[in-house]
Amino acid sequence: MFEFKLMTADDLPQVLKWRTSKVVTQFMFTDIEADLHAQQQWFKRTKQDTSCCYWLIYYQEKAIGVLSINDIDVNHQSCSWGFYIGDENVRNLGGLIPPYFYNFVFSQTIIETITAEVMEHNQQVKKLHKLHGYQFIETLSQHVCKVEHYFDVDVFKLTKTAWLTKKRFAKFEASFERDVKLNVVLNTEIEKST
């Protein structure tokens, strides 16, 4: 049903359109301009950055959104992540995305802990985190400033152990395209042990 393909330069116009739409940007920590050149520069930086990776989310062979893994820390076997559905016609599918990501990360990489930061008004994602076994860590008071208004941000943590107790999500398997950078960063410990 879902497939996750590495973002390419050809995807940037569509990604920029989604990212600057009101339905997406309201939950993002930053607002960006609809500037394709700036988007291309950002993409070049991400391709060199070993602490992150970006995928397009495909549903029935159509790109519908973006998923990223960020703040990869090999020593602590941790990361953060985020996603959004840009295609307004399938926004209701957003709740299905996290289990695919968790199953990929906890079965095919060295990651043991995922952190997530959620803006105070994003109640749907907070409910999803609770359902999936996240532990609330703290509230960062007035952490994000958007349009001259400060927002609190709630921080959550999901461990591999907690996720593996959620047996009903075991069937959520999907293909995640990988590149050399991601393989080297996320499989370091796995390769050492074989």
| Residue 113 belongs to domain with CATH number | 3.40.630.30
pLDDT at 194 over 60: no
- The three-state secondary structure class of 142 is strand
Residue 144 is predicted with a pLDDT of 87
Quote the pLDDT of residue 188. Answer: 55
Least confident of 44-58, 140-154, 159-173: 140-154
Considering only residues 194 and 50, tell me which one the structure prediction assigns the higher pLDDT: 50
Between CA 116 and CA 133 the distance in angstroms is 12
With a threshold of 0.85, does the pTM exceed it?
Answer: yes
Write the CB contacts of 75 (distance below 8 Å, at least 6 apart in sequence): none
Confidence of residue 31 (pLDDT cuts 50, 70, 90): confident
φ/ψ (deg, to 5) at 53: -155, 145
Percent of the chain scoring above 90 in pLDDT = 76
DSSP state of 137: E
Q: Please give the tally of structural domains in the chain.
A: 1
Distant-in-sequence, close-in-space partners of 9: CB < 8 Å, separation ≥ 6? 40, 43
Range(s) of the domain holding residue 109: 2-193
- Average pLDDT of the chain? 91
